[in-house]
Structure 1
Amino acid sequence: MTRHGHSTSTPGTVYLVGAGPGDPGLLTRHGADALARADVVVYDRLADDSMLSLAPADAELVYVGKQAAVHAVPQPRINQLLSTHAEQGKCVVRLKGGDPFVFGRGGEEATHLRERGIPCIVVPGVTSAVAAPAYAGIPVTDRRHASSFAVITGHEDPTRPTSRIDWHGVAHGADTLVFLMGLTNLASICSRLIDEGRPATAAAAVIERGTTPGQRVVTGTLADLAGRVAEAGLHPPALIVVGDVVQLRRQLAWHDSQPLAGRRILVPRVRRRPSEIVRLLKAAGAEVAEVPVLRSETLPVTGDLHGRLDAADWLVFTSPGALEALLEQLGTLGSDIRALGAGRIAAAGPATAAQLRRCGLRVDYAPETTTGFADGFPASSHATALLIGEEVGERRMLRDLAAAGLCCSELPVSRLTVDDRAPLPPIEQFDAIALASSNTARRLMEAYPDGPTDAQVVVSIGPMTSRTAGRLGLRVDAEAAGASPAAVVRTLVERLETRPTGD
Structure 2
Amino acid sequence: MNDPLATLDAAGALPRFAPGTVWLCGAGPGDPGLLTLHALHALRSADAIVYDALVSEAVMGFAGPEAAREFAGKRGGKLSPKQGDITDRLIELARAGKRVLRLKGGDPFVFGRGGEEALDLTRAGVPFRIVPGVTAGIGGLAYAGIPATTRDTNTGVILMTGHLAKADAPRDWASIARTGLPLILYMAMTHLDDIAADLVAGGLAPDTPVAIVSDATTPRQRVLVTTLAEARAAADRDGFRSPAIVAVGSIVALRALLVGGMTGLPA
Q: TM-score normalized by structure 1?
A: 0.48
Is the 2:18–2:99 Cα contact (8 Å) retained in structure 1? Answer: no
One-letter code aligned to 2:266: A
One-letter code aligned to 1:97: G
What are the within-5 Å matches in structure 2 for residues 404-483 of structure 1? none
> 1:222 matched to which residue of 2?
228
Work out which of the residue numbers 179, 197, 200 in structure 2 matches 1:173.
179
Any idea what the Cα deviations from partners look like across 1:14-66, whole Å, max 9, x if unmatched? 00000101111111111111112101000011001222232222111001112
Work out which of the residue numbers 231, 240, 251 in structure 1 matches 2:237.
231
Work out which of the residue numbers 26, 41, 47 in structure 1 matches 2:55.
47
Work out which of the residue numbers 231, 246, 252 in structure 2 matches 1:240.
246
Q: Secondary structure at the match of 1:204?
A: strand
> 2:12 matched to which residue of 1?
none
Runs of 4+ in 1 over 3 A off after TM superposition: 254-258
The percentage of counterpart residues that share the same residue type is: 40
Please state how far the C-alpha of 1:249 moved relative to its aligned partner.
0.9
Please state how far the C-alpha of 1:203 moved relative to its aligned partner.
1.1
**Mind listing any 5+ residue stretches in structure 2 that lack a counterpart?**
1-16
One-letter code aligned to 2:167: R
- Aligned mates of 1:83, 1:208 — CA distance in 2: 34
CA 1:68–1:254 in structure 2 vs 1: closer, same or farther (change >3 Å)?
farther
- Aligned mates of 2:246, 2:218 — CA distance in 1: 16
Any idea what the Cα deviations from partners look like across 1:208-253, whole Å, max 9, x if unmatched? 1111121111111111122111111111101110111111111112
- Correspondence 1:29 to 2:37: yes
Q: Secondary structure at the match of 1:61?
A: strand
One-letter code aligned to 1:20: G
One-letter code aligned to 2:50: V
> 2:68 matched to which residue of 1?
60
Any idea what the Cα deviations from partners look like across 1:253-290, whole Å, max 9, x if unmatched? 269765x839xxxxxxxxxxxxxxxxxxxxxxxxxxxx
One-letter code aligned to 1:77: D
> 2:210 matched to which residue of 1?
204
- Aligned mates of 1:31, 1:75 — CA distance in 2: 22
Q: Secondary structure at the match of 2:232?
A: helix
Which of 1 and 2 has greater Rg? Answer: 1
Is the 2:145–2:262 Cα contact (8 Å) retained in structure 1? Answer: no
> 1:187 matched to which residue of 2?
193
Work out which of the residue numbers 122, 125, 130 in structure 2 matches 1:117.
125
Please state how far the C-alpha of 1:168 moved relative to its aligned partner.
2.2
Q: TM-score normalized by structure 2?
A: 0.89
One-letter code aligned to 2:184: V
Is the 1:17–1:93 Cα contact (8 Å) retained in structure 2? Answer: yes
Any idea what the Cα deviations from partners look like across 1:84-110, whole Å, max 9, x if unmatched? 000111110000011101111111111
- Aligned mates of 2:79, 2:88 — CA distance in 1: 15
One-letter code aligned to 1:155: H
Q: Secondary structure at the match of 2:150?
A: coil
Aligned residues: 251
- Aligned mates of 2:90, 2:18 — CA distance in 1: 18
- Aligned mates of 1:175, 1:70 — CA distance in 2: 33
- Aligned mates of 2:90, 2:261 — CA distance in 1: 37
> 1:99 matched to which residue of 2?
107
> 2:6 matched to which residue of 1?
none
**Mind listing any 5+ residue stretches in structure 1 that lack a counterpart?**
7-11, 263-503
